[in-house]
Chains A and B, each alone.
Chain A
């Protein structure tokens, strides 16, 4: 064999341009909505314009008279087709209250956008036009909008079938919280609002479902993150046997958790394909999606920290109100619960109490949105640490360093009872401060304060960690989650020396095809270009737990590595047999099997693959195949961390906030592809900054969504975001052989508090101690006005006292 230009062992850790990009950026791709099947019909959905109402009449006959309309159904018409309501896989308490969630409501609608009827026509436009001829009569019911009011005695009910709006109260107490707070020299207490957000993936949801033709199976294409979970759940919901349903996630344009679900429209398309015997397509419009696709966040956080005299933390109390919305979707109740492990973050403490009230309201359901429970927790603790530093009169970094887990203390079991395997907060912080010119900016801040500059400078800190890579199945089971967290991979060695890697993860923008190729290339000694990665089709990747929670690399990539290791082990036996050597005498490196001490006695992985295909000569005690499967279930989560620093310029006259510089030093362990990691961090930062400064889903008192389209819901674009300075420290994870940690959500989790801390820091001399998110110009101006009127009131009260 001659040497190759790039040694196959040098793929991991280097930037490889993404194999996916050429077809994605040129549009030569297969989005679900691009699919055209013979005889395909289009569904349009009639949705409730009211937040809460009794449905007294649904008459579809007018729609049936419209041109091109094939069928139209009310909820009652299809009620017999559902084996049950849409699933919630995370019953966090035994007595959790969960409204029955039929794909098409029959007698009560519970949020604007709830489905009341469907129209099927031979064109999308014809179906949409005909929806206006479906006659629905509503008897309005009071809308439950405010979470705290919803729990008060005498509140109207969000679901009249239940006798409470409290879905659950979930509690976890570690340590002696009373002791921690009772005699504490300092207690810092705050209420933070994590506003409701709308995920806004660039590709709206879309579903195509074809009835059985040659085979017995139904085939569904869906813009989903979770083809495997969807298959199982739809089988249970719609009464189609699991083995007769194939689910395909073709190219999917982002999800951020919003496509980690089982939606009414997916069940509807399956049932309509069954009932009408034709392929059925539904694609949401953006404004439809804003009502019908899950939202994120929406928590009220009452948090407090107790400190000793030496500024070490004694304990923390967390009480959450979490808005579930009108229904419990797939993992709705579990999202705030994930925070139970994260409020203590990187800090040591002796006690932590966490109480979460899940509240039902007449709004679109919430569920996983990038970070899912951890951004909310991180926001609260990192805001609270800044508030504590201010109240205690210490530098915010000093307070953090006083309390964080030292590098030499890892592995460290936190007060919440989970073990952080690795971390180096000191190194990430030192690097971030240097890149940021922390001391220089602090000096400039002081100058501007001294000069009374109308544009004040603020510096925001976020020293975060998170738990991701949702894996340990036993831990998920202990949290009442309905499934495990393992992942599966298969490696098929083709006779020509090429390789197919099959993964149970389901990428929708992450670049798994590229990263998994890099892992397999190094493990097998096969060129990167000779590897194809197949995914997202339950008929191809028969086993998987899909993609969410920054799990794909740490669980799915790990599975690829293990499957490749099994291939190598088999191939080594074959090579030893062919080379007439003892297996222990054969070494494998960079694709070559070499007999120790015999330079001419060698063969390659490709030659072994061909030999085993021919199967003329192979060890008698093995099957003629190198192909291997692996299903891995890591024993722990993954704990990426980092230090993010943000400098904002706040125009105190207008309230306008401009991010002047942003430094993100992330530690995601070993890196497979630096450019993909950087891309994940950039996108994550954009979404975290979006929560801090721009985005908010607003409902009025009647439960109408006021931010119903991109006209009113401000998703920032490139001109609204700063240049990002990103860098890394690498502290390998000890819980997987690759040493990797998740990166998909880190930027989002870290950046929101960094930005808000910076805004508050800029305004602190004016008496501002909090700013509502998003820190829009209006909200910042309101905070300044409130602080100045408070100081005026205080001054006049002092005068009055003197007089």
Chain B
């Protein structure tokens, strides 16, 4: 539990962070809340030579209304501040609700939205939310900024499409308009553990039937997965169709087997939890 030696750089601004990344390349890691990176370093699974601390980059904190139907959340905004933010609560309650289930109070008071997403761990809760919301991430590098769709951002286990010299500056989510309901089923071994499987269901109701459904799956592949077959099977149908549709929730997934769950059991859980999440969201 003692990390290898590293150099420490405190970035005062995004530009300073980008400069440091450019200088150190893949020998550097960005330090946000540290709740994923530091345990890996203590176990010496990760041994970056340079840590670039974003903790003092104030411009990366906070939430604003972009005016185009979307909210922008600074990447260094802590989970607790996302949960409690009035704009998030009013316009994107699902993000506030799922964020409230991330880790435990200590994690939520240190961990950040950008750090959690950039870590690229499909067992964490926020990637599936961003996938279901069809949100985007703004990345900044030496050549300026670019906006990356959630579906393009997560590439593989702990791997994103960020370049070595880029950092996430913003997370953009649509304002939720209309009669949407949502529910996140997080299935864990102990309260503070990662999800064995998580299912976020969002349902837009119209005249008693489901106009649109979105299902994001946590920890069912190396990247967050949308249960698109389930979504399509429900569009335009009555909530009575949920049970049959949810039976296909594991289609197209590729879950791992580990000490907590076999792949087969994860697929089973995905089906059960998708049904439950949809039923709760459609209520």
Contact = CB atoms under 8 A, between A and B. Distances in A.
Nearest to B262: A778
A720 interface: yes
A707 B258 CA distance: 11
B196 A777 contact: yes
Interface stretch (B8-16, B22-30, B183-191): B183-191
A777 B259 CA distance: 11
A785 to B, nearest CB: 9
Contact of A781 (B43, B193, B268): B268
Contacts of B261: 777-778
A702 to B, nearest CB: 15
B260 interface: yes
Interface string A770-791: 0000001110011000000000
Interface stretch (A121-129, A419-427, A555-563, A750-758): A121-129
A288 B1 CA distance: 8
Interface in B173-216: 187, 189-193, 196
B6 to A, nearest CB: 11
B143 interface: no
Contacts of A129: 2, 4-5
Contact of B190 (A125, A653, A694, A782): A694
B269 interface: yes
Contacts of A653: 272
A717 B189 contact: no
Contacts of A29: none
B108 to A, nearest CB: 14
Contacts of B2: 124-125, 128-129, 285
A125 B269 contact: no
Interface in B240-262: 259-262
Contacts of A719: 190-192
A285 B1 contact: yes
B265 interface: yes
A711 B39 contact: yes
Nearest to B47: A132
Interface residues of B, number: 24
A717 B39 contact: no
B1 A654 contact: no
Interface in A713-772: 714-717, 719-720
A781 B265 contact: yes
A94 B206 CA distance: 81
Given A125-B5, A706-B259, A707-B259, A776 B189 contact: yes
Contacts of B190: 694, 714-717, 719-720
B4 A287 contact: no
Nearest to A656: B187
A242 interface: no
Interface in A275-297: 285-288
Contacts of B192: 717, 719
Residue among A125, A129, A286, A778 with max Cβ neighbours from chain B (10 Å): A778
Contacts of B43: 287, 709
Contacts of B104: 717
A709 B262 CA distance: 20
A712 interface: yes
Interface residues of A, number: 30
Nearest to B258: A712
Contacts of B265: 777-778, 781-782
A382 to B, nearest CB: 25
A285 B1 CA distance: 5
Contact of B1 (A287, A707, A714, A782): A287
Nearest to B272: A653
Interface string B37-49: 0010011000000
Contacts of B196: 777
B266 to A, nearest CB: 9
B191 A717 contact: yes
A697 B104 CA distance: 24
A590 interface: no
Residue among B39, B190, B269 with max Cβ neighbours from chain A (10 Å): B190
A453 to B, nearest CB: 15
Contacts of B269: 654, 777
Contacts of A707: 259
A129 B41 CA distance: 13
Nearest to A67: B5
A706 B272 CA distance: 28
Contacts of A288: 1
Contacts of B1: 285-288
Residue among B4, B189, B273 with max Cβ neighbours from chain A (10 Å): B189
Contacts of B260: 776, 778
Contacts of A709: 43
A58 interface: no
Nearest to B189: A714
A677 interface: no
B32 to A, nearest CB: 19
A533 interface: no
A652 to B, nearest CB: 10
A698 interface: yes
A781 B266 CA distance: 11
Interface string B89-118: 000000000000000100000000000000
A323 to B, nearest CB: 19
A195 to B, nearest CB: 12
A714 B187 contact: no
Contacts of A132: 4
Contacts of A776: 189, 260
Which 8 A-B pairs give the minimum distances between C-beta atoms? Answer: A285-B1, A719-B191, A128-B2, A714-B190, A714-B189, A653-B272, A720-B190, A778-B261
9 contacts: A124-B2, A285-B42, A286-B1, A706-B259, A714-B193, A717-B192, A719-B190, A719-B192, A776-B189
Interface of B: 1-2, 4-5, 39, 42-43, 104, 187, 189-193, 196, 259-262, 265, 268-269, 272-273
Given A132-B4, A719-B190, A777-B187, 13 more contacts: A128-B2, A285-B1, A286-B1, A287-B43, A654-B273, A656-B187, A706-B259, A707-B259, A709-B43, A714-B189, A720-B191, A776-B189, A781-B265
